[in-house]
Structure 1
Amino acid sequence: MRPHPAGGPAIDTLTVARRWAPDAAIGLAVLVVGVWTIVAPDGYSMSSESDRLLLTVCFAVAASLYRAAPHVALAGVWLTCFYQLADGVNLVYAELAVALVAYGAARHGSTATLWVSGLSIPVGMLAGALYVLARPYVITDIIGQGVLLRGDIVASQGVLIALVALMPLVLPWLVGLLLRVRVTSRAETAVARTGREQAEQQQLAAEEVARLRADQAALARDVHDVVGHSLAVILAQAESAQFLPDDDVARVKQTLAAIAGSARESLQDVRRVLASTSDSALTVSLPEGGLDRLLEGVEASGHEVVGSVSGTPRPLPPDLDVIAFRVLQEMLTNALKHGRRGEPIHVDRQWHDDLRLEVDNVVDGAAGSGPLGEGLGLPGMRRRLESVGGRLDTRRRQRDGVPSWTATAWIPLRPGADRVGS
């Protein structure tokens, strides 16, 4: 590497030499062969050696630029040919380098150079025919005859000679065009493949982002259900302690112990939910006892639970087990939060083609006339159920003239399970 004298970028002379050495060698070969054929003692020419040497040098330079600057080489060939026609200089062997220039224009040239070179072939054929017809003796050097050809022979065969002479232009140009199309096709295929790979990577990234967002939403729902239910139970237990006699220390201690137990169990539930988000956790861990454990917790808070089971309880797959547990947990949470104190909570479980969970509780008049679906609980339950083909129904009812709130969930059952859901 040789640094630039002015402190600019380094000049890689070796790279430049490797790039230009083959082209320079081709130009030098054309020049040597052309000069040797001019200075050779055999043959006959009506043009001076200086004119033919000038043409040879021009064609050699054009040949050396066929790859690096095909447009310059093509322009040089045309200017040299114009000079040859105008000055009447005889043909030289170096003109065979025009075939290399035609190949380079079709293979390495720009789109404009490609079109101009293609149009140059018929134009050159016409000019060559006119040149031969106008000067019947200019081909004597090329065919190596020591005598002049008769004008009538050249005139009658001039067009044929021009066609034969231009074949070395058509074939190299076509070969260059075919190679150009092949390389372009490969490049377009590579670009398309790269585009597909980038699209696939973007799709994978989008799917990963969607999965992470879904996991975050699921975690938020689980934490909401666990914490909301636990706080509702603790609140119910704390409110029940207000109605205890002041001198009933034993029951007060019992209630405080129940509150502490509920808080401890809530903390364990939150830890289980957070642990289920790790890569090693395949399923969400639920408290022992399943759905019955939820009902026992509500009863421990001082609320009466009237439960009923119909059909034959059966094991549930892990995903349905989690959904059934969280949905019933949220139903009981809403019953504790909005239900009238002292009224029983009715819980019905029906095992048939699907698992039907229904929670019914009496509410105060203001709560019974309020809007449905406030908060995150009901939307969260619906999303859980819809993810497995289930559904949720919530409505107000009048039971013996008293407003009540009923939430009903249907969970489709399918064979295969790891634990019992009731």
Structure 2
Amino acid sequence: MTTVGTPPPAWQRWVPDASAAVAALALGVLEVRSVLPDEHAAAYVVVLAVAAGVGLSRALPAAALGAAWFAGAVQVTAGVGAMTVEVLLAVVAFGCARWGSAVTVWLSGLSMPLGALIAVLWLDSNLVYRALDLIGVRLLAQTAYRGGDWRIPASLLIFALLATPWLLGLALRFLDRARRSRDSQVVAEAERDQAEEIARLREDQARLARDVHDVVGHSLAVILAQAESAQYLPEADTEALRRTMANIATSARTSLQDVRQVLSSPDGRPAASGQHGDLDALVEGVRASGHEVVSTEVGAPRPLPPELEVVAFRVLQEMLTNAIRHGRRDEPVLVERHWEGELRLEVRNVVGDQAGPGAPDGARDLETRPLASVDLAELRAQATAGHGLEGMRRRLEAVGGRLDVRRREEPGGATFTATAWVPLRAVR
């Protein structure tokens, strides 16, 4: 018993071919015994060759063509008369055209007119008459019997008997090839659609990861800075401590709202009142964390389309996050916004190795701690995360913008400047 989808055994695939060969052999033997009793040996060889050609026509078309030519050669050399069983050579012609190789198809096509010519040149007219009479073509038989010019109609008849199944097999061959081509095209289109869907899902996953990274990274950096600054407040200044704790709670609450908005919004845009107000809120959030921020705005702010609004917000957010994490606490963060021609966002900070004035070594951030105290797994995770600067660059390039990041050695210390250009397009 075979399961669904399992090909049948080889012997089962040969059963139809073997049955056809046995039937051809039985018909041929019956004809020889009843019609050609004096030509037993050679006639049986011809019948056996025809039966072999019929049986091999599907599985081995080239061998079937060879068997047909062998039957013709024995018939001509031994002088065996034409037999009705030779009509089954049409099965060989069909098999060569349907399942044979390109060489077999060409050879079988050339064999048909050549075989018809040999038949009419070598066979006796009485033999032809008898064969025509056996297959019921009385008009041609009478022409041959009366001594007329029988060769032309006989050759055309033989050619037609072989060419008709050969052309049918060739037509089915091309139809099958066209069907396979269509199936391959359907499979290729399905694979292409699947690849596009996978690429879209990966892009959505990367966008979601960038958005969550930007929101959580910025909020945690602000919260961390506020918590660290609280360590240096005078113990008696409980009001300042309350303000710091309130700022931490506000930052955490805002971060939670932004994360929920990112997960529920298709474009990942945080819930805010407006683009210009969002950028100001980012700057004020950094000020509330204890960092001094000097903000400069040149030109009149302009409303942006939603996609550019999101890019400007996320890019400035990441710039300020990097300034908090890498910059000196006792040096101001310089923020510039230029609205002339295109929106240019620039954040500049002094790079240092301390978290604040007089802060102990243990209060340094991950990127500013000595290498001996930095966990290598954390560094490796940050290097392979694919967010941060690379995320900003991808966001900007997606809308036709660009990013420039530079580190300069200056007398007051090393500075880190990040500049982003966002193209300005009118709101529709």
TM-score, length-normalised on structure 1?
0.70
Segment drifting more, 331-340 vs 349-358: 331-340
Give the aligned partner of residue 208 of structure 2: 219
Give the aligned partner of residue 286 of structure 2: 298
Measured after TM superposition, the shift of residue 230 of structure 1 is: 1.3
Establish whether residue 200 from structure 1 lines up as the match of residue 200 from structure 2: no
Give the aligned partner of residue 332 of structure 2: 344
Q: Deviation string for 1:125-159 (max 9, x for gaps)?
A: 33542333xxx6545656889xxx9xxx96xx7xx
Give the aligned partner of residue 406 of structure 2: 395
Match among 50, 60, 75 for residue 37 of structure 2: 50
The 3-state SS of whatever aligns with 1:215 is helix
Match among 107, 110, 116 for residue 100 of structure 2: 110
Q: Deviation string for 1:293-340 (max 9, x for gaps)?
A: 111211222233222222221211122111111111111112222323
Distance 1:241 1:31, change over 3 A: same
How far apart, CA to CA, are the structure 2 residues paired with 1:348 and 1:226?
A: 21
Q: Deviation string for 1:139-182 (max 9, x for gaps)?
A: 5656889xxx9xxx96xx7xx53343222222233333333332
How far apart, CA to CA, are the structure 1 residues paired with 2:229 and 2:68?
A: 106
* Contact 2:218–2:318 (Cα < 8 Å) also in 1: yes
How far apart, CA to CA, are the structure 2 residues paired with 1:219 and 1:259?
A: 25
* Contact 1:66–1:105 (Cα < 8 Å) also in 2: no
Give the aligned partner of residue 343 of structure 2: 355
Match among 261, 269, 285 for residue 272 of structure 1: 261
How far apart, CA to CA, are the structure 1 residues paired with 2:411 and 2:95?
A: 97
Q: Deviation string for 1:205-259 (max 9, x for gaps)?
A: 2222222222222222222222221122112212222222112222222222222
Give the aligned partner of residue 320 of structure 1: 308
Give the aligned partner of residue 427 of structure 2: 416
* Contact 2:346–2:418 (Cα < 8 Å) also in 1: yes
Match among 269, 274, 278 for residue 284 of structure 1: 269
How far apart, CA to CA, are the structure 2 residues paired with 1:116 and 1:262?
A: 85
How many residues align? The count is 373
How far apart, CA to CA, are the structure 2 residues paired with 1:356 and 1:188?
A: 60
Give the aligned partner of residue 392 of structure 2: 381
Establish whether residue 232 from structure 1 lines up as the match of residue 217 from structure 2: no
Segment drifting more, 322-331 vs 281-290: 281-290
Distance 1:365 1:191, change over 3 A: same
Structure with greater Cα Rg: 1
**How much identity, in percent, do the aligned residues show?**
42
Q: Deviation string for 1:95-143 (max 9, x for gaps)?
A: 67267456435544634765257436425533542333xxx65456568
Matched ranges for 1:106-145 at <5 A = 106-108=96-98, 110-111=100-101, 114=105, 115=107, 118-119=110-111, 121-123=113-115, 125-126=117-118, 128-132=120-124, 138=127, 141=130
How far apart, CA to CA, are the structure 2 residues paired with 1:209 and 1:341?
A: 44
Distance 1:67 1:291, change over 3 A: farther
Measured after TM superposition, the shift of residue 342 of structure 1 is: 3.6
Measured after TM superposition, the shift of residue 85 of structure 1 is: 4.9
Segment drifting more, 345-354 vs 74-83: 74-83
Match among 389, 397, 405 for residue 416 of structure 2: 405
Distance 1:90 1:345, change over 3 A: closer
Establish whether residue 335 from structure 1 lines up as the match of residue 323 from structure 2: yes
The 3-state SS of whatever aligns with 2:94 is helix
Distance 1:78 1:338, change over 3 A: closer
* Contact 2:212–2:262 (Cα < 8 Å) also in 1: yes
Segment drifting more, 123-132 vs 234-243: 123-132
Distance 1:252 1:78, change over 3 A: closer
Give the aligned partner of residue 151 of structure 2: 162
Q: Deviation string for 1:261-303 (max 9, x for gaps)?
A: 2222222222222333xxxx35533444411111121122223
How far apart, CA to CA, are the structure 1 residues paired with 2:345 and 2:420?
A: 5
Distance 1:170 1:102, change over 3 A: farther
Distance 1:127 1:287, change over 3 A: same
Distance 1:285 1:58, change over 3 A: farther
Structure 1 spans left out of the alignment, 5+ residues? 2-7, 40-47, 418-422
Distance 1:25 1:340, change over 3 A: closer
How far apart, CA to CA, are the structure 1 residues paired with 2:295 and 2:258?
A: 24
The 3-state SS of whatever aligns with 2:343 is strand
Segment drifting more, 119-128 vs 49-58: 49-58
Distance 1:255 1:161, change over 3 A: same
Matched ranges for 1:27-66 at <5 A = 50-51=37-38
Distance 1:60 1:306, change over 3 A: same
How far apart, CA to CA, are the structure 2 residues paired with 1:77 and 1:365?
A: 94
* Contact 2:91–2:165 (Cα < 8 Å) also in 1: no
How far apart, CA to CA, are the structure 2 residues paired with 1:335 and 1:79?
A: 91
* Contact 1:269–1:287 (Cα < 8 Å) also in 2: no
